[in-house]
Amino acid sequence: MRGARIVAAAVLLLTGVQAQADNWPTKPIRVIIPFGAGSATDVIPRIVLDKMSAQLGQPIVVENRGGAGGTLGTAMVAKADPDGYTLLATSSAHTIAPALYPNLSYDAGRDFTAVGVMGSVPNVLIVAPSLGVKTVQEFVAMAKKKPGAVSFASLGVGSAVHMSAERFRLSAGYEAVHVPFKGGADALTEVMAGRVDYYFCPIATALPFIQDGKLLALAVSSPTRAAALPDVPTTLEAGFPNSDYTFWIGMFAPAKTPKDIVAKLNAEIAKAVASPDVKAKLTTLGVSTDVVTPAQYDALVKNEFGTYATFAKTAGMKVN
């Protein structure tokens, strides 16, 4: 009898979870973006989430909770109920954080369920016209002539733009000063003013300034050229091996979120990025929208945890 009761209880539990998944969502969804407003990690999810809200018939409330390389906002989601109503929209910085913050209040691997990728964006090496270089080769030659004198902007140690800059710097073989900023707008302003020499900025953020001639695009970090900047070479094409960096932006849910809810979220992301209006907006921003399953996304994330832990040591990346 006791065994029968246990089985019955398990069936009821599973039935409850299934019912929750079938009925979800019945109220507004909260999405935490662990970076500041105006960054690519903010702009791109908002475009996709706005469409998802219409598809799901429920408001999606976005909150920017930046700080500590994205770990503060991420920690909030790690502690949230796994019911599909609190989600995380973050970047590939998620996979470097454990190597830089050994005392995190969460486990980046175990405390989250990978949901889906909203898009990937090449970072573009930008400089002010006043710097006096017109190609990436000229830039590297200048940097080598002045060891440690050139500076580059980032959104903090371990941010996706920092990773991109460090991969290129190590490949090109020069020294540079890292200047972290709290937001992308400040970083762009300082580069345009010539107070910081360069920035590996997401195309989505830099494109308007490149088109206005306020910044020069020297190279992109993606393995292939960016559709938004077809005349700009990749760092690989320019002759710098192992300098490419894929900057993805995706969604996570707290661990133990019902698989049916995760699957539904993944399907809604795929539907949103395939819709003509969203696709047009993302294409204009240079965003690639290759849809992946939760399992494929999870495999990508796990691979990056190991890869970037090693890279952080090689590059000497440390949080002060």
Between CA 125 and CA 168 the distance in angstroms is 10
Element housing 306 (H / E): helix 294-315
Paired tokens of 172: 């090109």
The continuous run of DSSP H or E covering 262 comes out as: helix 259-274
pLDDT at 318: 76
**3-class secondary-structure state, position 134:** coil
- Per-residue pLDDT of 111-137, as tens digits, reads 999 999 999 988 999 999 999 999 999
- What is the end-to-end Cα distance of the chain in Å, rounded? 60
Token digits of residue 302? 């796990």
pLDDT of 10 higher than 60: no
Q: Sign of the CA dihedral 91, 97, 98, 104?
A: negative
User: Is there a shared CATH topology between the 2-121+247-315 domain and the 123-220 domain?
Assistant: yes
pLDDT in tens, 136-158: 999 999 999 998 999 999 988 87
According to the model, what pLDDT value does residue 66 have? 85
- Options 3.40.449.10, 3.40.50.300, 3.10.20.30, 3.40.190.150; CATH for 2-121+247-315 is 3.40.190.150
Q: Could you tell me the fold of the domain covering 123-220?
A: D-Maltodextrin-Binding Protein; domain 2 (3.40.190)
- b/e map of 23-34 (b: 16 or more CB within 10 Å)? ebbeeebbbbbb
The 10s digit of each residue's pLDDT in 56-82 is 999 999 999 988 878 999 999 999 999
Mapping DSSP to helix (H, G, I), strand (E, B) and coil, where does residue 317 land? coil
**Exposed (0-12), middle (13-18) or buried (19+): which is 241, by Cβ within 10 Å?**
exposed
Percent over 70 (pLDDT), the chain = 93
Q: Tell me if 268 sits within 8 A of 52, measured CB to CB.
A: yes
Residue 178 pairs in a beta bridge with 152
3-class secondary structure, 152 = strand
Model pLDDT for residues 203-220, shown as the tens digit of each residue = 888 999 999 999 999 999
Q: Using an 8 Å Cβ cutoff, are 93 and 121 in contact?
A: no
Task: Name which residue leads in pLDDT, 223 or 268.
Answer: 268
Q: Where are the domains of the chain?
A: 2-121+247-315, 123-220
63 touches 85 (CB < 8 A): no
The mean pLDDT of the chain is 90
CA quadruple 63, 43, 264, 117: dihedral sign: negative
